[in-house]
A and B are shown apart, each in its own frame.
Chain A
Amino acid sequence: MAKFMRTTKGIEETNVASEATTTPDLSAAQDRRSAEQYPQKPELSFIGSSLKVTGNLESDTELRIAGKVEGDIKGAVVTVQEGAEITGSVYGETVIIEGRVHGKIEARTVVIGKTAHTTGDIIHDSLQIEAGAYVEGHCRPGFGKSVSHTGSFPRPAQSTAQPEAIVANKTA
């Protein structure tokens, strides 16, 4: 009997031990979950409402923007959602605007939704504006004919401040 008790106790102990070894895997499981949420090759880039980009944004595929961008944007399909704010130019094959854009819009197809607020020239081949949209600027056809945006964005000058120095100061 005593022998049996001992064995069950042993089993219990091993169970506890196995539980202890499995607990650190929680973070790994969370990681896997977020990997499922975003498959290895997401089809589009999404700038969420909590994200602010200062600089240029370029994509060969689709861009959806719900956050703030201070800089130029280039993509095959650029969608500016309601609540988004862009200060800079928007270039693309297709550009759909439902948010605020302060800058030039240049695209083959431009669609401006009723919640849009745009200030700047619009260069297009085909333009659609929904009733209710605020559009301030010169709209003209001729996408790709004028001095159009071609090639990559030039790399901007390096930021003046060197964070290295700050880290060094903190450690000192």
Chain B
Amino acid sequence: MGVEAPKRRQSWLGEGTPVADQPSVLCRDSTVIGDLYSSDELHLYGTVIGHIRARKVTLWPQGFVDGDIRAEEAHVHGHVKGRIIARTVVIGEGARIEGQVFHHKVEVAKGASIEARFPWRPTGYFDDIDHCLQQAG
């Protein structure tokens, strides 16, 4: 019996490695203290203390954001303490919102707990989100 050459794995990352351009996920045990910028989708189950800018943000139940969310589309099922600035805002049951929701279209499910103002803005207002962000630093 000859000595078998050690098997080399293709990647240390192993199988089931997410492809790099898959949507980003922050799981329940994760915390970000700082800002998140994404040109794509973002799924949050964990905690973010800071601002978020993405094309689409989905905050799932038990997720928590202390800061602003700027997105084309925001789906909120968790807890937000801060501003949401999005053309389309969908607030699910079980969501908790404290702050302001700048929107063009909004949907709020029965059962959501809301302590917020809902200022409506024309759709053009949201073309400038990035500009707002640059000014905000």
Q: A residues touching B (Cβ–Cβ < 8 Å)?
A: 27, 31, 34, 38, 40-61, 63-64, 66-67, 71, 75, 79, 81-83, 96, 98, 111, 113, 153, 155-156, 159-164, 166-167, 170-171
Contacts and interface: CB of A to CB of B under 8 A. Distances in A.
Interface string B15-47: 001101111111111111111111110110110
B12 A48 contact: no
A50 B75 contact: no
A161 B34 contact: no
B17 A64 contact: yes
Given A79-B13, A113-B12, A170-B125, A52 B25 contact: no
Given A55-B32, A113-B12, A163-B133, 13 more contacts: A31-B75, A41-B27, A45-B27, A50-B21, A51-B38, A53-B35, A54-B37, A64-B13, A66-B18, A98-B12, A159-B137, A161-B135, A163-B136
B90 A27 contact: yes
Contacts of B30: 45, 57-61, 63, 75
B137 A96 contact: no
Contacts of B11: 98, 113
Given A50-B39, A64-B18, A166-B135, A159 B51 contact: yes
A48 B20 contact: yes
A48 B56 CA distance: 14
Interface of B: 11-13, 17-18, 20-40, 42-43, 45-46, 49-51, 54, 58, 60-61, 68, 75, 83, 85, 90, 102, 119, 125, 128, 132-133, 135-137
B88 to A, nearest CB: 9
Contact of B24 (A48, A54, A166, A171): A48
Nearest to A74: B31
Contacts of A44: 25, 27
A156 B33 contact: yes
Contact of B32 (A57, A160, A170): A57
A163 B24 contact: no
Given A59-B30, A81-B13, A52 B22 contact: no
Contacts of A67: 24, 38
18 contacts: A44-B25, A46-B18, A50-B39, A51-B24, A51-B36, A53-B35, A55-B32, A55-B33, A59-B29, A66-B18, A66-B20, A67-B24, A83-B20, A113-B11, A155-B33, A156-B34, A161-B136, A171-B119
A45 B58 CA distance: 14
A72 B136 CA distance: 23
A49 B39 CA distance: 9
A160 B35 contact: no
Contacts of A47: 24
